[in-house]
Amino acid sequence: MRITAVQTIVVNVSPFTNWTFVRLETDDGIAGVGEATLIGFEPAVASLVGEIGAPLVGRNPLEAGPLHMTQGGHIAAAALSGLEQALWDIRGKAHGVPVHRLLGGGRPAVPVYANINRGTRDRSPRGVGARAEEAVSAGFGAVKFAPFDEYLWWEAAGRRDLLEPGIRRVEAIRETVGPRVAVKVDCHWRFDVPAAIEVGRRLAALDLAWYEAPVSERDPDAVREVREQTGLRIAGGELQTSLLDYRRLLEARCMDVLMPDVKYVGGIQGVLKVATLAEAFGASIAPHNPSGPVATAATLHAAAVLPNLMTVEYQFAEVEWYWDLVQVEFAVKDGHMQVPQSPGLGVNFDMALAAKYPYQPVRHMQDPRLFV
Ligand SMILES: [Mg+2]
């Protein structure tokens, strides 16, 4: 078997989101797919998929070995991660087994939570609460929201009034879902340390399951201060791309939950490596995955075999054809999503449907105000 082509497919999902997929074709008819979504950088990712993928053409995918990258930052990391997942998809299909079985096998279903952020256009407390309730009705036992639309510390330091709407939204979620559903809050690094501590202390009264990305992670000491001063479980590390980045966070003892992303950290193998490192520090793993269905599949295979898995993210209700794009749906029941059991990643990428929603430029990664 030889790889014959490397392809990037970008699908527009909403005014906020494009998904980027990587596809490898082989001469015996097996194709592999991976996801490299990096919103706002689609043409750059596609270019690097071509660069990093070119040496694979003509090679046997079962002998391709690990992919290496030392330069190119986040964009190259996304491209490489997409290619890595696509290689796993081919390996699984060639051997006729799901990828998690190649990794040793594990859980048949993994805990998942509903990220309701992008799927919630009505940002009033009532609108947010209603969306949370929908997620619980759909079988999720935990929800996450990024409520602080009004606050960016470099514009609003000291403006307590701009924190209030966010706190109202979290209160509405807790009120709606009741005490038994886990509520997680994502802050997208919008706070300085004083605001993060103040907000964290107020949210603690609402029984938060975790407090995500309250302050910039470039300064692990600042994150640790928020952790120590609020007593909350701190989650983060969704954009890091290397083991060294994670080692720094772990050595600083600033996070309880690391969130490696299969799309940025070197694919499935990258998530496993970060999990192993985290295990040595007593930290849990909750893979970041506000992504399309291929990344969800890849993440589920990795999550199935992690000893220190806490939960997996799923982007709830962002687009109605989410599962149609891969012609399969991984059922959610009692807060768990089933791990794919078909060969490879267990998805059947629908090229015709993808072609109906071509790339549209969005600039949200470049504007922190719009980062959702
Ligand atoms: Mg996040």
Three-class SS of residue 180? coil
**Separation of 113 CA from ligand 1 center, angstroms?**
13
pLDDT at 156: 87
**Residues catalogued as catalytic:** 188, 288
**Separation of 288 CA from ligand 1 center, angstroms?**
7
pTM: 0.97
Question: What is the distance of C-alpha 169 from the center of its chain?
Answer: 22
Tens of pLDDT, residues 86-137: 999 999 999 999 999 999 998 999 999 999 999 999 999 999 999 999 999 9
**Separation of 100 CA from ligand 1 center, angstroms?**
25
Question: Other C-beta atoms within 10 Å of 108: how many?
Answer: 11
Tens of pLDDT, residues 323-332: 999 999 999 9
* Alpha-carbon span 39 to 37, nearest angstrom: 6
pLDDT at 70: 76
**Separation of 238 CA from ligand 1 center, angstroms?**
6
Q: Is the dihedral of CA 77, 146, 18, 335 positive or negative?
A: positive
pLDDT at 15: 86
In the chain, the domains with their CATH numbers are 3-96 (3.30.390.10), 101-344 (3.20.20.120)
Positions in the chain short of pLDDT 50: none
